[in-house]
Every structure is written in C-alpha cells, then in structure tokens.
Amino acid sequence: MPKVVFLTNLAPDTAALLTSQAPAEFAVTTASAKLAPAEQVELVRDADFVILFPGIISREALHAATKVKLIQLVSAGFDTLDVGLCKELEIPVANNGGTNSTDVAEHTLTLILAWYRQLGAMDRNVRTNAWSAIDSGATTYTINGKTVGLVGLGNIGRKVARLLNAFGATVLYTDAFPLFEVEERELGVARVPLDELLAQADVVSLHVPLNAETRGMMGKAQFAAMKPSALLVNTCRGPVVDEGALIEALQSKQISGAALDVLAQEPPAADNPLLTMENVLLTPHIAGVTLDTWARRGAFIFANLERVWQGEAPHAVIA
C-alpha cells in the first residue's frame, strides 16, 4: 500500500475534497504544513509520495525522504520549493498540470470586467446613496474591440485567450515557446515581440512562471512603453512586476490602472501605496482557488501518483 503524506494549510474539510480522490489502496496522511522540521521528518521518512500545498517543506524533511518517488504540488507555481535540492536528492517534482487553469483564466477575465465596469466603486456608491456618482457613459468600457496582450501563453494564457475571443477582443501574445501558425489561427491569437505588445495593448495580462528570466520583467521601461489608457493585470506571481516601478507608473498616470491578484509581499505591508490607490483593484492571491478546483486537482494528483506507483513516468514534471 503506497504511503502518501499531504502537508497543507487547507482547512480539513477543504483538504478532504482533494484527498477524496485517492484510490482505496492509498494510505493518505494529512498534516499541517506548519509542522516543525523534526515532525515533518518523522512523517516523510517512510513515505512513498509527498503532496504539498503550499509548496513548502523543510530541507531536513527532504533529506529524510529517501523513499519518496515523487513530490506532487497542488499548485502550478513552484517558486517556494527548493527545486535545486530536490534535483540534488533525485526526487522528481510535478506541479498540478494546469488543473487550476480554468479558475485563474476566469479570475483574469473577472478582474478586467470589474475594472472596466468600476464594479467596486459602483457597489460602494449604491450602498451609500451616491446612486449616480459615477458617469458610466464616460468612465466605463467594453472588452469588445479592445486589444489584449498576453505575456505567456501556457495552459492559463490559452484559456484566457479563448474567453477574450468570445468577448470580441483582439488577442496578442508573446511567449518564449511560440505556437505553430495553425494553432495561432485556431486560438485566434497573433504573436508579437514584447515591446510591440506593450505598445498596442489596452490590457496587458501576465501569465508566466516566476524564475530568473521573469523576475522584474515588468519594470520602468515596460510601463513607459504601455498606453496611458492601459490596464495591467497580474494573476501569476507578484515579483514578475517591479512593484516600485508599477507604483510610480500608477501615481504619474503613465498607465491607467492595475488589477492585481498577487503582490511582491503577501500579505502586503500596511504602508504599501497600492492599498490606497483608487486606480488599483486587488484580490488576495486567490485566482486559482475555487470550491470546484479541489476535486479536479485531486483527480490529477492521484492519477499521477498511481502512474508512478505502476512504474510509469509522471506527468507535469518541473524538476
């Protein structure tokens, strides 16, 4: 019987939605991700698999996990895991294979719509008897006819593109791994260099992993290249954006606004200027988290573990 250890900060009922997808022959132990390193060591010492959400585990536990055949992440991102040490210890690591991509894509569109229609301000006005304080005919917008630039076109970016097509947007993208022309036609996207995308887009939406190449990729020069009317949307990772440069661009009206699910520091410091800016819309890093996502992620995760248990190669390997 394979032994699986699930280290998580999820509430027990939520964690159970994921572990309910485990095959009957899998013995799954769910424990707090905040366990002390020594307690983690005891749990993983004889484990065959480790599932992580968030992707954090102590170095001591990794060294003790000599039987572990796969570390399976519940998330898509892996920037909080010591991937280098996993490689050194020859422990394969897989992410969630895009099983939260629908959730993130829908949240991305939600942020664009909420910004374009000023939903937060509208709601506050209705509740405070300022019924017509916003001139919607002068200050709100439609997605139809706009140009949206997607920086990154992986699982999430492609789903965002499909949603935007349905709204009548023109979709540009830039990615280190371009699609074939036939795929671009099917998806309704056109590939352009980053500088051209920034210059043309009414909305710039970020969908890249956080790594050495993408950290700080949106900085002063990039904001200067954007339209003054443009909106920046970030649902990937906060450090992809130079936050100081973003704040400066927003304060100087170099760009119109930002809709952010992620920040450089989470939760943000109380004195972070983004918290008081009227041209900023914020959500607390929850784009990929819905009630519907856990069973979907669990089904992928345990199918992946079962593959490895049967001697096959895992899917979605990142290290």
Question: In 10 A of CB 157, how many CB atoms?
Answer: 26
Percent of the chain with pLDDT over 90: 96
Question: In 10 A of CB 58, how many CB atoms?
Answer: 18
Give the position of tokens 């990794």.
62
pLDDT of the residue at 319? 81
- Tell me if residue 169 falls in helix, strand or coil: coil
CATH of domain 3-99+290-309: 3.40.50.720
Those residues with Cβ within 8 angstroms of residue 243's Cβ, 6 or more apart along the chain or in another chain: 263, 264, 274
Pick the closest to residue 74 from 6, 141, 154, 156 (CA basis).
Answer: 6
112 phi, psi to nearest 5 deg: -65, -45
**For the CA atoms of 146, 151, 153, 156, what is the dihedral angle to 10 degrees?**
-80
Domain residue spans of the chain:
3-99+290-309, 101-282
Give catalytic residues, as residue numbers.
Answer: 237, 266, 285
Q: At what angle do helices 101-116 and 155-166 cross, to 10 degrees?
A: 40
Q: What is the mean pLDDT of residues 130-142?
A: 91
Pair of tokens at residue 195? 């500088």
Cα-based angle 95, 90, 294 (whole degrees, multiple of 5) = 20
- Tell me if residue 198 falls in helix, strand or coil: helix
Pick the closest to residue 231 from 273, 290, 169, 285 (CA basis).
Answer: 169
Distance between CA atoms of 128 and 151, rounded to whole angstroms? Answer: 39
Those residues with Cβ within 8 angstroms of residue 269's Cβ, 6 or more apart along the chain or in another chain: none
Distance between CA atoms of 148 and 129, rounded to whole angstroms? Answer: 35
pLDDT digits (tens, 9 = 90+) for 157-175: 999 999 999 999 999 999 9
Range name among 62-66, 127-131, 261-265, 294-298 with the lowest pLDDT average: 127-131
Mean pLDDT of the chain: 96
The model carries a pTM of: 0.91
pLDDT digits (tens, 9 = 90+) for 181-239: 999 999 999 999 999 999 999 999 999 999 999 999 999 999 999 999 999 999 999 99
Question: In 10 A of CB 33, how many CB atoms?
Answer: 16
Distance between CA atoms of 188 and 165, rounded to whole angstroms? Answer: 7
| pLDDT band, very low/low/confident/very high, at 133 (cuts 50, 70, 90) | confident
pLDDT digits (tens, 9 = 90+) for 9-23: 999 999 999 999 999
| pLDDT band, very low/low/confident/very high, at 125 (cuts 50, 70, 90) | very high
Q: How far apart are the first and last CA of the chain?
A: 26
Evaluate whether 279 touches 229 at the Cβ level (below 8 Å): no
- Among left, alpha and beta (phi > 0; psi -120 to 50; other), residue 152 is left
The residue ranges of DSSP E strands in 58-161, in sequence order, are: 70-73, 93-94, 147-151
Pair of tokens at residue 278? 């009227």
Pick the closest to residue 21 from 88, 87, 86, 99 (CA basis).
Answer: 99
| pLDDT band, very low/low/confident/very high, at 77 (cuts 50, 70, 90) | confident
Q: What is the mean pLDDT of residues 25-45?
A: 97
Distance between CA atoms of 270 and 12, rounded to whole angstroms? Answer: 30
Q: What is the mean pLDDT of residues 117-136?
A: 91
Those residues with Cβ within 8 angstroms of residue 132's Cβ, 6 or more apart along the chain or in another chain: none
Amino acid in position 33: A
Equal CATH topology for 3-99+290-309 and 101-282: yes
Reply yes or no: is the peptide bond before residue 267 cis, omega within 30 of 0.
yes
Percent of the chain with pLDDT over 70: 100
Q: Topology of 101-282 in CATH? A: Rossmann fold (3.40.50)
pLDDT surpasses 90 at 282: yes
